[in-house]
Each structure stands twice: as C-alpha cells, then as structure tokens.
Amino acid sequence: MKPIIKVRGVSKRYRVGQAKRYGSLRENVTTKLKAPLRVLNLRSRTDDRDAESQFWALRDIDFEVEPGAILGLIGSNGAGKSTLLKILSRITRPTTGHVELYGRVGSLLEVGTGFHPELTGRDNIFLNGTILGMKRVEIASKFDEIVDFSGIEQFIDTPVKRYSSGMYVRLAFAVAAHLQPEIMLIDEVLAVGDAEFQKKCLGKIGDVARAGRTVVLISHNMAAIESLCDSCLLLKGGTIAASGPLKEVIGGYLTSMIQHESGTASLVNHPGRAGGANRSMTCVTLSSDNAQPISAVRMGGTLSVNVAFKSAKPISPVLGVIIKNSHGIAIFGVNNKFIGGYRFEKRVASGLISCTLNDLPLMPGRYSLDLYLGDGPQDIDVVCDSISIEVLPADVFGTGQLPPPICGPVFWPATFDLSND
C-alpha cells in the first residue's frame, strides 16, 4: 500500500537573537565608508555569530504513514512536534528535505484560528469552516451537527466575544472536527474544555480514524495516545529518538521523564530501619516481568519486590510489603503469611524472597515501600521507606482517559448493568 504521508530528510532551522538595529543616515554612511577597512577582520567573527544564532528545531526527520493509520507524536516541550506539524500543514517550509502528502489536509493546530470576536457563533462557523477548507454547501449540511456537538445552541447567535473560554473552544473544535479531509493533523486539542468535552473529542477523533482517514496527533495525554494511535514517534531535541510499538515508545518516554533511580537499594545501613531490628534484610530490588532493576512501572503492570536477607540463625521467612503514597499514607499491604499456599516452612539462614503484584491498581504518582521480614508470626526486621517506585499512566480502561484524582490513589475495574423496571 502506498503511504499517504512521506517525510524525507526534513530539517528546520530558525535564526535566534536580537533583531537588526536601524541606524541614522549619518551612522549608515560612516559604517559604509569604514567597511572596506575591516571586512576581513569581521568576516570570521560574523560567521561565528551566524552559527551561534542558528537553532535547528528539526534534524533529518524520516517517516511514512499508511492510509487510515493514526500516528502519535510525543515528546517534551520544545522537542519539535508542533514545528513538524506546521511543515506537514505547509504553514512553514522545511530548510532541507521534502514532504509528500496524497490527499486533502485538515489542520487543528490552533483551536479557534479564524474566529472573529464581533461575529456571532453562526457567522463564525461559516467563516472558520471556509478558512479550514470547507465549501459553503458542506458547512450548511453539517451546521446542525456542529452546533449539537459544541453544546452551545442557546448562544449560537451571540457574538463570540461574549463567550467564555470553554464555549469558545467547544465551538472551534466542533467546526474543525467536522471536516472531511483525507489527512487530519491535530495539535494538543485534547487539552481544551472540561473532562466531558475531552471525552467527546476523543470519540470524534476515533470516529475520524474509523472512517478511514489518516490522523497525526500531538498530545501530552499518554492514555489518549495509547487509546487512539496505531504507532508512535518520540521526538527529542528535534530528532526521532524512538519509533515503533506504542507501549515500548510511551514507556521509554515516561521513564526518561521521571527522577532516575537505580531500582535497587542497600538495606544494610538504611536510615528507615526500625529500632531494635536485627538488620537481616540486606538489599531490595524492584523488577517487572523480565526487566530489572526498574524505578518505574505502568498502571496495571507487574511489580516484583525482591528482598535479599541473611540471618544469624535459620528462619521461616515471611515478607510483608506496605505501599504508601507521597504523604506517607498506607494504600495497601500484602504478606505471605496471610495468603494461602505461600507459607515457607523450611528454615533457611539466607536467601531471596520475592513478592509479585500483578495488575498493579495504583494511579500515577510516586510511592514508597515499607518492608517487614518475619520469622513465622514474629517480625525480626523492619525498614520503612526502603525504596520508591514511580507509577506511570496507561490506558487501563481502553477509553483514553484516566480516572480523576478525586477517585483516590487506586483504580479498580468494574462491570455495570442497566435494566428497565
């Protein structure tokens, strides 16, 4: 299948620094008379200044997008995502390289571009639709659908200068989302509006994709990217740092954004050890599946807590793990003496005891682990705040949205049913 978007060797350079100062006629004449005497001395310094004033927003970008695919662009602010979308939209030209687009392009780069504050919402629908490439008959046929989607029917004949910011972005997105281009370029529109409207935006983008149109989407909402996109590009410093399967690229990006830790900690002289403990636990290492050590895990992932111990006398080891939030409040705890089938009756003086938590139900954030090592029913060593783990967002419910913080520090799957009385 022939790609609908081809990007080959695209780079974009900008000049930065102070604008040139305009001098008086006398200053300009004097400068011209002196120029021949100093041109050789200044040439190398001018070249140096020119090099210093150049900023490459993009460097050697290469990728293709197949028809009907949804490509996510992720990366930190300043990585070059918006610049790339402006080049694809032909708003700006690349310094080097070229872009091939096979189809009509619709862009949502700045929601609300083209709205006139003195015109009513009705007038702005026709004005903005025209700017975004729609014919008048096409706008008229979709007018009711646009108004219904925006949810501001009551104010459609009111000048938009009297709209709240929420009403403004609702109408702007509704107009842009009802285009019928083969290629749709979207820059962070999921950051506008309230949670309910963002959900509608997600659904509309999904409808666009299911209709066979190609979408390139920029968003800092990783759950939305994971829910909507087929593949992903990670931009860093204007270059493609990673591409490929969503979970790998998103996981690598989120991990790179957090505070780096080793994922392992010595417990020999740990400051969190409780007084009177006998210092049996020597080390803790966090792992997930086959990867270790790790300092971050995604929502719903697998977390294994591996504790090495060495006791002066043989024990029947019992491991307790309590996970606490950033305020030191315990979220939940596990202990193998309370779970059937995991009592280790054989007495050993040293070893490695592990606790694996499947489908980790924690919301995004930073958590610490308290560790308890026991000999049967008696605790012999306790280390509080032994190690930290960062939980990263993931599309655990397949909706592109995370539960709001008001729901608490854990998420839980559930089923629902509705019956008529």
Assign residue 377 the CATH number of its domain: 2.70.50.60
Residue reference for tokens 């997930």: 288
| Whether residue 248 is found in the same domain as residue 324 | no
| Whether residue 174 is found in the same domain as residue 284 | no
Query: Residue 44: inside a domain, yes or no?
Result: no
What distance in Å separates the CA atoms of residue 76 and residue 167, rounded to the nearest whole number?
28
pLDDT tens for each residue of 396-413 = 888 888 888 788 899 988
Query: Residue 47: inside a domain, yes or no?
Result: no
Side chain identity, residue 196: E
- pTM (two decimals): 0.68
| Whether residue 305 is found in the same domain as residue 253 | no
| Residue 100 pLDDT exceeds 90 | yes
Please state the φ and ψ torsions of residue 280, each to the nearest 5 degrees.
-80, -35
Query: Residue 385: inside a domain, yes or no?
Result: yes
Query: Residue 94: inside a domain, yes or no?
Result: yes
Q: Which comes out higher in pLDDT, residue 3 or 115?
A: 3
| Whether residue 146 is found in the same domain as residue 201 | yes
| Residue 337 pLDDT exceeds 90 | no
End position of a domain, from candidates 257, 280, 315: 257
What distance in Å separates the CA atoms of residue 74 and residue 233, rounded to the nearest whole number?
6
Q: Looking at residue 174, what is its pLDDT?
A: 81
Query: Residue 405: inside a domain, yes or no?
Result: no
Count how many domains the chain has. 2
Distance (Å) of CA 170 to CA 175, 189, 223, 299, 317? 9, 10, 21, 31, 59
Domain that residue 197 falls in: 56-257
Assign residue 109 the CATH number of its domain: 3.40.50.300
| Whether residue 358 is found in the same domain as residue 211 | no
Mean pLDDT (whole number) for 11-17: 85
What distance in Å separates the CA atoms of residue 156 and residue 42, rounded to the nearest whole number?
62
Query: Residue 21: inside a domain, yes or no?
Result: no
End position of a domain, from candidates 201, 224, 257: 257
| Whether residue 230 is found in the same domain as residue 323 | no
| Whether residue 251 is found in the same domain as residue 273 | no
Question: What confidence category does residue 343 fall into, taking pLDDT thresholds of 50, 70 and 90?
Answer: confident
Mean pLDDT (whole number) for 281-286: 95
Side chain identity, residue 357: L
Angle at 273 between CA 270 and CA 275, to 5 degrees: 135
Query: Residue 409: inside a domain, yes or no?
Result: no
Q: Looking at residue 34, what is its pLDDT?
A: 59
| Whether residue 272 is found in the same domain as residue 222 | no
Query: Residue 14: inside a domain, yes or no?
Result: no
| Residue 216 pLDDT exceeds 80 | yes
| Whether residue 306 is found in the same domain as residue 218 | no
Q: Which comes out higher in pLDDT, residue 135 or 120?
A: 120
